[in-house]
């Protein structure tokens, strides 16, 4: 078997453009996922608020119980049935962000619940409101505990972003498939795509580990 990476070198600019699109869609999805995850995670802390708790639990159950690809297709092909036309990029961001938010919410909920309840009680006894205690006392400690599992979720999201190529988004996978369609060198191109994804996930992991070390060194959590 002879490997010929010539099509990869010739199409390298297109692959790099696709990598930039992958980074953009992943970053936007991460932002949406973190916001949704924080809100839903906090909403699931208090079962006594039945409506909010029920909606949050239903969201998590549905998203975690159905394939990401189906969710992307529901947005891309389903919304037009209701005369809601969104660009493919927006559908990709929404799909990935909503999917990630369900998993981030469980990370947020678990990290907050791992903090000693006595700290909340002490903060409330000092006259702080629930929101003040959560923002000033609980969340800063929980954030450090969230970073390792969040890192795994972020890396998984980078890899899952390859599915948006099926929505005609010109991401890394889509650009690679275009090169394959004219060169027929699928093994070489997919090896190159895998290498680029490996670089992206490795850099993300290094950045998150650096952030965790900085936060711990700053004394947020002893």
| Residues 63-77 pLDDT 10s | 999 999 999 999 999
User: Rounded to an integer, what distance in angstroms lies between the CA atom of residue 97 and that of residue 48?
Assistant: 28
Do residues 4 and 185 touch, judged by C-beta distance below 8 A?
Answer: yes
Q: Is the model's pLDDT at 125 over the cut of 90?
A: no
pLDDT at site 39: 94
Work out whether the CA dihedral 55, 149, 216, 122 comes out positive or negative: positive
User: Rounded to an integer, what distance in angstroms lies between the CA atom of residue 95 and that of residue 87?
Assistant: 12
More confident residue, 2 or 83: 83
Which among 23, 162, 34, 51 is positioned nearest to 102, based on CA atoms? 34
Do residues 7 and 178 touch, judged by C-beta distance below 8 A?
Answer: no
Environment class of 106 (CB within 10 Å of its CB; exposed 0-12, middle 13-18, buried 19+): middle
Domains and CATH numbers, the chain: 6-217 (1.10.3720.10)
Q: Is the model's pLDDT at 10 over the cut of 70?
A: yes
For the record, the structure tokens of 165 come out as 């190529």
User: Rounded to an integer, what distance in angstroms lies between the CA atom of residue 141 and that of residue 108?
Assistant: 11
User: Rounded to an integer, what distance in angstroms lies between the CA atom of residue 10 and that of residue 185?
Assistant: 12
pLDDT at site 49: 86
pLDDT at site 221: 47
More confident residue, 218 or 145: 145
């Amino acid at each position: 078997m002879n490997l010929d990476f010539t099509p990869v070198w010739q199409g390298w600019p297109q692959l790099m453009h696709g990598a930039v699109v992958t980074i953009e869609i992943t970053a936007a999805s991460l932002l949406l996922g973190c916001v949704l995850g924080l809100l839903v995670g906090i909403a699931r802390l208090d079962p006594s608020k039945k409506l909010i708790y029920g909606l949050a639990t239903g969201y998590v159950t549905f998203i975690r119980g159905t394939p990401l690809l189906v969710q992307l297709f529901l947005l891309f092909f389903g919304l037009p049935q209701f005369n809601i036309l969104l660009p493919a990029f927006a559908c990709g961001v929404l799909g990935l962000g909503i999917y990630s938010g369900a998993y981030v919410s469980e990370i947020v909920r678990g990290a907050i619940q791992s903090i000693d309840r006595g700290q909340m009680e002490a903060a409330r006894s000092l006259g702080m409101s629930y929101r003040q205690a959560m923002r000033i006392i609980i969340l800063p400690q929980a954030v450090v505990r969230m970073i390792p599992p969040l890192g795994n979720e972020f890396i998984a999201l980078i890899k899952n972003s390859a599915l948006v190529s099926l929505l005609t988004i010109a991401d890394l996978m889509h650009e690679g498939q275009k090169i394959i369609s004219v060169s027929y060198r699928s093994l070489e191109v997919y090896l190159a795509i895998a290498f680029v994804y490996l670089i992206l996930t490795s850099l993300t992991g290094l950045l998150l580990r650096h952030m965790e070390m900085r936060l711990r060194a700053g004394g947020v959590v002893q």
